[in-house]
Amino acid sequence: MNLDILLPLELLRPGEWADVAEVTGEASWVGRLAELGLRSGSRLRLLQAGWPCLLQVGGCRLSLRSEQGTQILVRPVAC
């Protein structure tokens, strides 16, 4: 797998690790996600795909359902 590509979070496969490259969307929600530790640069693991999906971010698990206009771009990493 080419590890330099950027993917939307939804395309990550369960169990895969990735670094967040960019969180776009309405400013206040980008802020809220950052408070929860989900921001560009943070490493995450997709535990369960779907809508909502289940993520491991830092020391915690987050369930996330993103709406249109909010997008999390990630860069998969081998881990």
- Applying CB under 8 A, the residues found at the interface with another protein are 25-41, 47-48, 50-52, 54, 58-67, 70
Shortest distance, position 20 Cβ to another protein, whole Å: 11
- Least separation in angstroms between CB 44 and another protein: 12
Tokens 């860069």 correspond to 75
**Token reading at 53:** 């999906």
User: How far apart (Å, rounded) are the C-alpha atoms in residues 27 and 38?
Assistant: 14
* CB of residue 35 to another protein, shortest distance in Å: 4
Tokens describing residue 63 = 């369930």
Choose between 2 and 59: whose C-beta lies nearer to another protein.
59
